[in-house]
């Protein structure tokens, strides 16, 4: 039988945990100490229902209902938040069965930053903000591509990074960091066909893997060999040179004989 692996959060991997450790969090300050933000909150509350509002690291943060995202963004744009610098989502499917979507807004005139947030239940669609902020175009496509969140009335809602026929959404926590089984065979199937799976084998998606005897992609300092040479029986040492043979005019020539290798920290 295959070893059971949790599917809800495949990216979670704890290497070390301290039972006394407390996760750091930024303090949430009341708007009472920020009259400019308090006034803007009052204006926003006249347009939409604000569920929660506070100041975090000098940024005004406000939560609204998902169905009122575009209405809230339009109101904030009229207040002077004319730049949408970033937008994305956070996967809370395992714990809360949905996503937290955020819009990072900037007012150049007021020198204010504002973050509009909302909680989107799984399967619910969100209204596109593309006609309000042109920068939302690719950000919304990326959010659809990476999380599977659909945007209503987007002019060209299709994947932006992954191929159109890609299976799964890579930034969901349920998606393995090295890709799932479909990802391992994607390029093999596209280039050679499924009938060549046993011949070619699955794609290696471990970026940290190094093949000790692969001389087409890796080289050992002091043991360089010609491209593609078989070194399974060993390789000879080669002198380490830090500069060209003739050296550099204004730089002292470095040689291994004059260098010293440190064995321990001081």
| pLDDT tens track for 56-95 | 999 999 999 999 999 999 999 999 999 999 999 999 999 9
Q: Name every residue whose Cβ is closer than 8 Å to that of residue 204 and which is 6 or more positions away in sequence.
A: none
In the prediction, which pLDDT does 177 show?
Answer: 82
Give percent above pLDDT 90 in the chain.
Answer: 58
Q: Per-residue confidence at 36, pLDDT binned at 50, 70, 90?
A: very high
The third-level CATH classification (topology) of the domain covering 30-152 is Beta Polymerase; domain 2 (3.30.460)
DSSP per residue over 86-153, as a string? EEEEEE-HHHHSEEEEEEEEEETTTTEEEEEEEEEETT--EE--TTT-TTHHHHHHHHHHHH---EET
**How far is the C-alpha of 110 from the C-alpha of 266, rounded, in Å?**
51
What tokens were used for 144?
Answer: 């659809």
Segment of 1-5, 97-101, 190-194, 241-245 carrying the highest mean pLDDT: 97-101
DSSP 70: H
**How far is the C-alpha of 111 from the C-alpha of 258, rounded, in Å?**
56
**Domain ranges in the chain?**
30-152, 173-203
In the prediction, which pLDDT does 263 show?
Answer: 84
Question: Comparing C-alpha atoms, which of 101, 118, 102 is closest to residue 66?
Answer: 118
Helix, strand or coil, per DSSP, at residue 234: coil
The CA–CA distances, whole Å, from 70 to 120, 204, 227 equal 14, 43, 57
């Amino acid at each position: 039988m295959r070893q059971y692996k949790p599917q809800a959060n495949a990216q979670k991997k704890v290497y070390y945990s301290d039972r006394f450790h407390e996760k750091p969090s930024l303090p949430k300050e009341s708007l009472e100490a920020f009259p400019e933000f308090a006034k803007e909150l009052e204006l926003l509350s006249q347009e939409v229902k604000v569920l929660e509002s506070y100041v975090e690291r000098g940024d005004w943060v406000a939560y609204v209902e998902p169905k009122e995202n575009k209405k809230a963004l339009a109101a904030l744009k009229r207040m002077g938040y004319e730049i949408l610098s970033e937008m994305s989502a956070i996967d809370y499917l395992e714990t809360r069965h949905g996503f937290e979507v955020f819009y990072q807004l900037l007012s150049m005139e007021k020198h204010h930053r504002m973050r509009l947030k909302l909680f989107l239940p799984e399967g619910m669609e969100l209204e596109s903000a593309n006609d309000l902020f042109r920068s939302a175009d690719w950000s919304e496509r990326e959010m659809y591509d990476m999380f599977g969140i659909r945007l209503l009335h987007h002019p060209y809602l299709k994947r932006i990074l992954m191929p159109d026929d890609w299976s799964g959404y890579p930034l969901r926590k349920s998606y393995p960091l090295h890709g799932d089984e479909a990802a391992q065979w994607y390029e093999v199937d596209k280039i050679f066909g499924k009938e060549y799976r046993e011949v070619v084998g699955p794609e290696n998606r471990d970026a940290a893997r190094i093949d000790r005897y692969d001389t087409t992609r890796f080289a050992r300092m002091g043991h360089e060999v010609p491209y593609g040479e078989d070194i399974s029986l060993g390789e000879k040492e080669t002198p380490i040179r830090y500069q060209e043979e003739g050296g550099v005019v204004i730089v002292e020539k470095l040689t291994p004989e004059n260098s010293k290798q440190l064995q321990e920290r001081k």
